[in-house]
Amino acid sequence: MRFLSTVFWALVAVVIALFSYRNWNDVTLNLWGDIQAEVKIPVLTFIMFLLAFLPTWIIMRARIWAQRRRLEAIERQHASATPPHIVTAEDGEPVI
């Protein structure tokens, strides 16, 4: 299974490299006012990917952090609870 994952990511890397090679052209971005920026298409694509990916990643990390805090609180509560007292008969057998 690990092999298939490696093959998949290698194919993704090859596709990205081919896209970058074939589209290494300048694009003019009209920013605010008379300001313009010349950017290569692959660089622009990478920046747009990061702008879309980072908020989702930050939300995911925040949820994982909150879940870990809840789990640690439950574990601390469980660890501090005293075990139930088992009443035994005189011969050492538990009484139900």
What are the domain boundaries of the chain?
2-70
What's the mean per-residue pLDDT of the chain? 86
Q: What is the DSSP letter of 81?
A: S
**DSSP-derived secondary structure for 10-51:** HHHHHHHHHHHHHT--EEEEE-STT-EEEEEHHHHHHHHHHH
pTM: 0.58
CB 66 within 8 A of CB 75: no
CA distance 48 to 39: 12
Q: What is the DSSP letter of 92?
A: S
pLDDT band at 66 (very low <50, low <70, confident <90, very high): very high
Residue 76 tokens read as 């601390």
pLDDT band at 64 (very low <50, low <70, confident <90, very high): very high
Q: First CA to last CA across the chain, in angstroms?
A: 50
